[in-house]
Structure 1
Amino acid sequence: MWRRLATIADAAAIAHIYNQGIEDRVGTFETELRTEAMVASWFDGSHPIVVVEQEQDIIAYASTSSYRARPCYAGVGEFSVYVRRNWRGKGAGKEAMQHLLQACEAAGFWKLISRVFVENTASRGLLRSLGFREVGVYEKHGQLDGIWRDVVIVEYLFQANLSAASFGA
């Protein structure tokens, strides 16, 4: 497996993987499939996106987006990680997250956060193994297919970047 920063040219492959996650109802409340153009809009130059390849075929990705628009949250990113169906459970998600952590630390982020379905034990285990902390549970955070779902809030702190002046340096 090879990991690298993603480019807009990867948008179609990323959309395909994300759409599998949407269809499988494993990691998102989203139900509308994404297009290549929708994913291309994620590339803002500030929020790292990484991909994992096997023989030049993208098999996983991890991405960040802004947490809140307020300046005090500039160094906090929300993240997602998705793996192509036939590669789940084979380490591609871990590869993606390890590279995303490196890219976010280098970009000056001081924290990553996300929410994970409580029953998604594979993702929760992966994140714990990488040093993420489970902060708590949002009960009935949203409905998916008419069913209320709970999510676990996770966070990762970049100790080296915790000074207020570090973001964007």
Structure 2
Amino acid sequence: MIRTVQPDDWPAMAAIYQQGIDTGDATMETQAPPPEKMALSYLETPQLVIEQAGAVVGYALLTAVSGRCVYAGVAEVSLYVSASHRGQGIGRQLLSQLITDSEQQGIWTVQAGIFPENTASVAVHKQCGFREVGYRERIGQRNGQWRDVLLLERRSKTIGT
């Protein structure tokens, strides 16, 4: 069941984020922030989790790309699924719902930065209408190793046209 994030979801979300960090192919981060800090990093809406058997097993959030008003309709997606639930279509369900909800909030472009080695994430984003728009070589280091990032975006067909 997909639903809006509740305050008591953040610890489970931080644990899922840490699982993504531990793969080495999800983010430049090496440690999940405390749940209370994590909660302050994202747009207030839409914030989605997916539950199975009463447990949060994935989440999708947006971050503003800029504080400038001209970019008010542009956001970056964070999409994470627990290790034990990957490969079941959960990411696609969450991302599809996030796109629908974001358009209702006036978001016209959702973008993503993904390590090219994270082929599952790239595939999910493309299934949801994202397209490749760039490639950043050696953009940052993770554990002393330079990493590239594939840039993807999805433009709304109804907002900002």
Residue 125 of structure 1, aligned match among 119, 123, 133: 123
Contact residue 27 and residue 117 of structure 1 kept, 8 A: yes
**2:14 corresponding residue in structure 1:** 15
* Structure 1 length-normalised TM: 0.90
Question: For structure 1, which runs of at least 5 residues remain unmatched after alignment?
Answer: 164-169
**2:33 corresponding residue in structure 1:** 34
Question: For structure 2, which runs of at least 5 residues remain unmatched after alignment?
Answer: none
Q: Percent identity?
A: 35
Cα deviation for residue 43 of structure 1 reads 5.6
* Aligned pairs (5 A) from 1:95-114: 95-114=93-112
CA distance in 2, matches of 1:40, 1:130: 25
Aligned-pair Cα RMSD in Å: 1.3
Map Cα deviations across residues 47-92 of structure 1 (whole Å, 9 max, x no partner). Answer: 4211111111110101101101111101101111011011111111
* Structure 2 length-normalised TM: 0.94
SS of the residue 1:150 aligns to: strand
CA distance in 2, matches of 1:119, 1:36: 27
Map Cα deviations across residues 14-56 of structure 1 (whole Å, 9 max, x no partner). Answer: 11101111122121001122212112223653x4211111111
Contact residue 25 and residue 117 of structure 2 kept, 8 A: no
Tell which deviates more after alignment, 57-66 or 19-28: 19-28
Tell which deviates more after alignment, 52-61 or 29-38: 29-38
**1:166 corresponding residue in structure 2:** none
Is 1:24 aligned with 2:23? yes
Kindly report structure 1 stretches of 4+ aligned residues shifted beyond 4 Å: none
CA distance in 2, matches of 1:116, 1:107: 24
SS of the residue 1:160 aligns to: coil
Contact residue 43 and residue 61 of structure 2 kept, 8 A: no
Question: How many residues align structurally?
Answer: 161
**Matching residue's letter, 1:134:** E
Tell which deviates more after alignment, 127-136 or 3-12: 3-12
Map Cα deviations across residues 76-126 of structure 1 (whole Å, 9 max, x no partner). Answer: 011110110111111111111111111101111000011000111111111
CA distance in 2, matches of 1:53, 1:32: 24
